[in-house]
Amino acid sequence: MADATSPDLHYELYQHEISLLVSAWRSMQPTLDPANEQFYGWAPDDFRAQLRLLRDEIEQRAYLAIVAATEGTLQSDFRARARGRSRVPLRDSARELCKREARGKRVDLEEILEIWRSEPGFAISRARALFVELRRIDPEFPRG
């Protein structure tokens, strides 16, 4: 399984949860089993409506987790550039922001992205690499 900070892990969990919902949708067993008191006796339409709500919640939670993991990766990459000894793109800008952060001023993602955008060609190449990674995780990316 992937690292907890990886978007891969969150996407794997999302796929697993959705497959469980699909199984429940197909079987309708929870509505027939008295041991499953949460759904026992529900009408099939009510049960399916509840599964749709659960699916929507799972998708929203997965989306948020993937976005947060991606932001964490960008923050970590930026700080690694600031600490690096070799001259890599954005190192000097990253160091300036990290010095400001050390003085107690928060560095948010928008500031990091603005620095990425200011480096000619860097943002485009990194964005392309990110899109390749996202397509690897989810072949249907981007969704319309």
Q: List pLDDT tens digits, range 90-142.
A: 888 889 888 988 898 888 888 888 887 777 776 677 777 777 777 777 777 66
Alpha-carbon Rg for the chain, nearest whole angstrom, is: 22
Mean pLDDT of 14-34: 80
> What's the DSSP call for residue 119?
S
C-alpha dihedral (102, 105, 108, 112), degrees to nearest 10: -60
User: Does 21 score more than 80 pLDDT?
Assistant: yes
| pLDDT for position 2 | 56
Residue 15 has pLDDT above 70, yes or no: yes
The mean per-residue pLDDT over the stretch 78-89 comes to 83
Fill in the DSSP letter of residue 27.
H
Whole-number Å distance between alpha carbons of 52 and 40: 17
The model's confidence at residue 23, banded by pLDDT at 50, 70 and 90, is confident
Instruction: Give the residue from 67, 80, 69, 51 showing the smallest Cα distance to 3.
Output: 69
Mean pLDDT over the full length of the chain: 80
What stretches of 1-144 adopt beta strand conformation (E)? none
The pLDDT of residue 44 is 82
* Amino acid found at 98: C
For residues 79 and 115, give the distance between their C-alpha atoms in angstroms, rounded to a whole number: 13
